[in-house]
Amino acid sequence: MQDPFQISGPNGTHKCFVLELLGPSVADLLDAHPSTERLSGTLAKTIAKQTLLGLCFLHEHKIAHADLHTRNLAFEIPMVQALREEEFLQKLGKPETGTVQRKDGHPIGPGVPRYLVKSTFYPLDIKSSFRSIKIVDFGQSFLNDEYPSTLNTPLPVRAPEIIFNDKIDYRVDLWSMACLLFELIVGQPLFDSSMTTPAILVSQMLETVNDGLPDRWKRDWDTMKGTSSGNNSACSLQEWLEEMYFDGERREDMTREDIAQVGMLIRISLIGSSISPPGSIPASLPSKCISTAAIMEEYKAKYAIHEACREGQASRVDSLLAANPKLANLRDPDDRLPIHWAVSYNHLPIVQSLVQAKSFDPDATDGSGWTPLMMACSRKDSEQIVDLLLSKDADVNAKNNNGQTALHFCASKINLDIARTLLAQKPPASARVKDKRGQLPLHRAAAVGSVPMMKALIDAKSPLNATDMDGMTALHHAISEGHGDAAMLLLTLGAEFDKKDNDGHLPLELAPDAKTRSYILQAAEREGIDLV
């Protein structure tokens, strides 16, 4: 607070406070970025760190904010105090006023102001030096010994206990903090904010957290959900975070290790909410007001081996296993074993240590049904890990929760050498397995335009004209993604070019542009194939 004062008027005496002038919100900055961009990793981490520090301070003083989201994080304005009045007005523009009038033309009463001043905003320059933020809008805040009956937190960041009208405490901030972290790093909300309903939101929560609802909420959920259903993506939070961040379309200046740390922090913030069953929050933490930092330290201590596997700390893994061999079978909140993280981050020395355990199961699945082999097949330069897992009799045809096999991931990531290794096994990986979307590995290879991968799969007896759930053949996928050479391979091998998808489209009608269409028509004509 800069200054308090009182002002007297026709409606009495009012106590006024002059507060610090703050600039645009973090949401304003996010909105100012094109959809193809996101905040720099440095700025996102700076905002996240300051918000966490602020939240820790509030919780240590037994205050819950209860409305934490990007619009309630405002930037400090650099050097604003040093601006002369004319410079300040030049930045903000001259104040605009409007006369207050009654619609019926009658005189306004003595208690109504004669004019209103239009609000203005500090000009937003996404290249400016905005760095420091402050948490604002404490209109819904409460002390830790108070239990508000409800809160009006925006739906996409609303904690589940609010939705289910359960007892509310400071932990609603932890849920909102998790949502905020995801949005800062990825550039879009964790939960869909378009046309969201409570039922849709809870479905998304369950998919993300991979925990069941507490018994006290199940009856309300059965009533609420009706015909609503989630995406059934069976994708862990960490996988979803990595898929969204490393999308190949936007800035990627954070490492996979950085994103793993972010995922852990989001996860522990989510499990601090009451959506987790009793016991999810470490019992050693105080029940009334806990620090987010304290939760993180407890989490990191419990799952130290998982972190060491992510970070590639082989000597630390060996030390932890020597002290307690059972840690190799410890599952974290993402239902992953240490082997899953070691394989995901392609740390061969750690994988070599973990597979030596007598209890090692090469087909152990995480919460999404992924085996270590599937994870290795989705990474580049992981041939040695694949060979090691196969030497331990890993099942090449195991399916995850979406019905996908290791060969599906080889096709998607164009890991041709690994695919050939899987196809050469006895028994071999099957190229005829469809996932729950009805897609064969060939559909995926066609969608990414890998002619060598497609040849390998077709040589392995993959059906050429099989359709997925959308009625699309491999030819539909190849042409719709603009892969002319892939389309020509299929056509020369006898792909049906007159087969329509569920929307009635022929493959050629899905060409993304005239250039692709022309290329395929001309190449087909040279091969004696008449497509028109």
Same domain, 485 and 468: yes
Instruction: Tell me, yes or no, whether 318 and 418 share the same domain.
Output: no
Query: How many whole angstroms separate alpha carbon 290 and alpha carbon 297?
Result: 12
Give the predicted TM-score (pTM) of the model: 0.62
Whether residues 404 and 457 share a domain: the answer is: yes
The answer on 459 and 313 residing in a single domain is: no
- Helical packing angle, 484-492 and 451-459, nearest 10°: 30
Please, what is the average pLDDT of the chain? 85
Task: Determine the Cα–Cα distance for residues 282 and 301; give it in Å rounded to an integer.
Answer: 11
Confidence of residue 427 (pLDDT cuts 50, 70, 90): very high
Is there a single domain that holds both residue 401 and residue 386? no
**Bridge-based pairing state of the strands 22-25 and 73-76:** antiparallel
Q: Which of 341, 365, 390 is the last residue of a domain?
A: 390
pLDDT surpassing 70 at residue 287 = no
Question: Could you tell me if 157 and 31 lie in one domain?
Answer: yes
* Rounded CA separation 493/477 (Å): 16
Structure tokens given for 425: 């096994």
Domain boundary, last residue among 343, 366, 390: 390
Domain final residue, candidates 225, 245, 265? 245
- 34 and 132 fall within a common domain: yes
What is the dihedral sign for C-alpha 42, 47, 50, 56? negative
CATH number at residue 234: 1.10.510.10
The partner residues of 448 in beta bridges, in order of sequence, read none
Cα three-residue angle 429-433-438, rounded to 5 degrees:
150
* Number of separate domains in the chain: 3
Residue 317's pLDDT band, with cuts at 50, 70 and 90, is very high
Q: How far is CA 365 from CA 360, 404, 411, 516, in A?
A: 12, 13, 21, 41
Asked, for residue 482, whether it belongs to a domain, the answer is: yes
- Region of poorest pLDDT, from 17-31, 245-259, 339-353, 439-453: 245-259
User: Is the same domain home to 196 and 340?
Assistant: no
Q: How confident is the model at residue 256 (pLDDT cuts 50, 70, 90)?
A: confident
pLDDT at 220 > cutoff 50:
yes
Residue 294 lies in a domain: no
Mean predicted confidence (pLDDT) in 374-403: 94
Task: Please say if the pLDDT value at position 383 is more than 90.
Answer: yes
pLDDT tops 80 at residue 320? yes
**444-480 pLDDT tens trace:** 999 999 999 999 999 999 999 999 999 999 999 999 9
Domain limits for position 315:
305-390
Q: What is the pLDDT of residues 486-504, one digit of tens each?
A: 999 999 999 999 999 999 9
| Helix ranges, 272-334 (H) | 292-302, 304-311, 314-323
Q: Do residues 372 and 481 both lie within one domain?
A: no
Find out whether 362 and 371 touch, Cβ atoms under 8 Å.
yes
pLDDT at 250: 79
Regarding whether 378 and 506 lie in a shared domain, the answer is: no
Same domain, 171 and 35: yes
User: Is 266 contained in some domain?
Assistant: no
The answer to whether residue 124 sits within a structural domain is: yes
Q: Is 70 within a domain? A: yes
Q: pLDDT tens digit string along 62-88? A: 899 999 999 999 988 766 766 777 777
**Residue 279 domain-assigned?**
no
> What single string gives the DSSP state of each residue in 375-415?
HHHTSTT-HHHHHHHHHTT--TT---TTS--HHHHHHHHT-
Burial 285-319 (b: 16+ CB within 10 A, else e): eeeebbbbebbbebbeeebbbbbbbbbbbbebbee
Do residues 236 and 103 both lie within one domain? yes
Whole-number Å distance between alpha carbons of 71 and 135: 9
Indicate which CATH number applies to the domain containing 482: 1.25.40.20
Q: Does residue 293 lie within any of the structural domains?
A: no
List the structure tokens of 516. Answer: 């692709």
Q: Which two tokens stand for residue 189?
A: 């909300």
User: 468 lies in a domain?
Assistant: yes
Q: For the segment 32-56, what is each residue's pLDDT rounded down to a tens digit?
A: 777 667 888 888 988 998 998 899 8
CB 122 within 8 A of CB 29: no
